[in-house]
Chains A and B, each alone.
Chain A
Amino acid sequence: MDYRYLHLFCPIIALGINVIVQIVIFKLDKGRKLLRSVFTGFATGALSAGAIESLIVLAAGAPVKNFIPALVVDITTYSAMGYCYFHFINLGETARRIRLLRELNDAPEGLTEGEILSRYNAKEIIDVRLTRLLNNKQIILRDARYYVANPAMLFISRALAFMKLIILGKRI
């Protein structure tokens, strides 16, 4: 087989490794830290992509001068696919639309607006997010008031607000 086919499949194989490692790590972890399993899975996939690229040079006899450009392409492709996988997990965990769809999927006879809001409402959305932000140490609670604890989360939030302004011309 042409070794270049391995370049094509390298990010896909690395993503497969990412998914399997993430699921296994999460199932084995007694603390059930989802974010930790995502990072471990992603790092393992990235290392696998590097290993596959090295193997293509060492075992398949690909030109050494192509190693760095091929690695950059494969790692970028893999990272973008890993980012999509992270968002798939994140959507299931946090997206209001997915939760609403799940509620309606569990009720084949349908739900009125009142019934939907009795199962999933603004109060629950706020409670769940405050708990999640506290557990992930992104905010802290002091004297019944919440404060930002992690500058990285604030930076990401500001970056998203900036992107919204540039792309949609709207402020958060």
Chain B
Amino acid sequence: MKILFWGSTIFFVAFTLHLMIWRRPGARISIRRLIRIFAGALVTVLALLWIGSLFNAELKRIAPSDLLEYLQIILFYTALSLSYAITYSAIEAESPSVVMILEIARNGKQGMRKTDFENMMSDEILTKPRIEDLLNDKLIYKDKDKYRISPSGSIFVRPFIFYRSLLNLGKGG
């Protein structure tokens, strides 16, 4: 129960902290900052628990009892946090499929024609902002008028290429 309790508690603390920071006017928000908040919460709470349990008998009773329990909490919490970070990036990037489904639903019995989507979603909305994201994340760089993949971009995309070639899948997208 300690693993479930502490893993969930630290996740709740990190999530609340991230929400408070994100909703501040003019806050700088990025996935890197989100990951730092979640990693920071884990290290801070576990360090406080470990130090506190050395001096306080009551805390020692409810704190993880050995290294193995700490490792189980870290695994449990990391899996939850990664799941949230992935969901967050999907929310932030605004999936075209989600936008299309919501637009079709908004139109109700009238439905949507293909040309409605083409008028609504241009390269300015769907493609160019993603190129900017890749530049900002330093996964690509601009060399005169050409875009080139950076070493970190190449490392990042390699597992996807490996997996999809293993399954004989196309380029995706």
Q: Residues of A at under 8 Å CB distance from B? A: 2, 4-5, 7-8, 11-12, 23, 26-27, 34, 69, 72-73, 76-78, 80-81, 83-84, 87-89, 91-105, 108-113, 116-117, 120-126, 128-130, 132-133, 138-139, 142, 144-148, 153-154, 156-158, 160-161, 163-164, 166-169, 172
Give min CB distance, A111 to chain B, whole Å: 6
Partner of A80, one of B79, B111, B140: B79
Interface residues as binary, B65-100 with A (CB distance below 8 Å gives 1, 0 otherwise): 000100110011001101100111011111111111
Q: Which residue of B lies closest to A102 (CB)?
A: B171
Within 8 A of A (CB), among B118-137: 118, 121-123, 125-128, 130-131, 133-134
Q: Is B48 interfacial (CB 8 A cutoff)?
A: no
- A84 lies within 8 A of B83 (CB): yes
Give min CB distance, B143 to chain A, whole Å: 6
Residues from chain A with a CB closer than 8 A to the CB of B163 are 88-89, 92
Q: Is B36 interfacial (CB 8 A cutoff)?
A: no
- A129 lies within 8 A of B68 (CB): no
Within 8 A of A (CB), among B155-171: 156-157, 159-161, 163-164, 166-167, 169, 171
User: Which of B23, B93, B97 has the most chain A CB atoms closer than 10 A to its own CB?
Assistant: B97
Give min CB distance, B89 to chain A, whole Å: 9
Residues from chain A with a CB closer than 8 A to the CB of B167 are 23, 26-27
Q: Is B154 interfacial (CB 8 A cutoff)?
A: yes
Residues from chain A with a CB closer than 8 A to the CB of B121 are 122, 125-126
Residues from chain A with a CB closer than 8 A to the CB of B95 are 94, 160
Give bound CA distance, A133 to B173, whole Å.
14
Residues from chain B with a CB closer than 8 A to the CB of A105 are 149, 153-154, 157, 161
- A110 lies within 8 A of B172 (CB): no
Q: Is B45 interfacial (CB 8 A cutoff)?
A: no
Q: Is B43 interfacial (CB 8 A cutoff)?
A: no
Partner of A87, one of B86, B99, B154, B166: B86
Give bound CA distance, A69 to B72, whole Å.
13
A110-B147 contact in complex given A80-B82, A80-B83, C-beta closer than 8 Å: yes
- A130 lies within 8 A of B80 (CB): no
> Would you give 16 A-B contacts (Cβ < 8 Å), ordered by A?
A4-B68, A8-B72, A23-B166, A72-B4, A78-B79, A80-B82, A80-B83, A96-B130, A97-B133, A99-B172, A102-B171, A110-B148, A125-B173, A126-B117, A133-B100, A148-B101
A109-B146 contact in complex given A4-B68, A81-B79, A102-B171, C-beta closer than 8 Å: yes
Give bound CA distance, A26 to B143, whole Å.
40
Residues from chain A with a CB closer than 8 A to the CB of B58 are none
- A146 lies within 8 A of B112 (CB): yes
- A120 lies within 8 A of B127 (CB): yes
Q: Which residue of B lies closest to A115 (CB)?
A: B146
